[in-house]
Amino acid sequence: MEASTPPADPVAKSNRTVLIVIGSLLVVIILGLVVYLATRQSEEEKALQAVCTSRADIQKRVESLASTTVTNFTLNGFKENVQGISNDVSTIRANEAKLNPNRKQEIQAANQAFETAVTTTLKSLGTSLSISNAQDKLKTAGQELVNSYKETLAPVDCSGVDITN
């Protein structure tokens, strides 16, 4: 009589299959959690990205205003750039509190100084503007805005910050 192999225990085989499936699911969940934690942005990183994106937009708008002449001046274009700068300044202000104390202080001071300079420049532009002096006033105001940007917001370090979105 030959020794026969006992039949496979279906319960043991089923338990082993369940353990393999559960183990695989745990590995997938853990890997997903690791990827999520490694790629998520902190509140501070999001705030710095918003600040740096606004800073880059301000630079573009200031350069656009600085290149404005009497021949290419449009009231809508002027208003759009000024409103955009105002929105960017507000965005920076709204995100300052989320930054670390040193960064917050630097950006707060730069933003306040820039905002004051813009207000002063725009007020001077609005007084006694005539056709004969409009070109000079626009050129001067544009250069003042460029200089204000360079002295206040341009020094803010945004290296390593993705501002493409």
User: Which tens digit of pLDDT belongs to each residue from 83-125?
Assistant: 999 999 999 999 999 999 989 999 999 999 999 999 988 887 7
Which residue, among 98, 95, 92, has the nearest Cα to 118 in the 3D structure? 92
Q: Where are the domains of the chain?
A: 43-152
pLDDT value of position 135: 73
Q: What is the CATH number of domain 43-152?
A: 1.20.120
Residue 113 CB neighbours (<10 A): 14
For residue 55, name the pLDDT band (cuts at 50, 70, 90): very high
pTM above 0.85, yes or no: no
Per-residue pLDDT at 124: 79
- Checking if the pLDDT of 29 tops 80, the result is yes
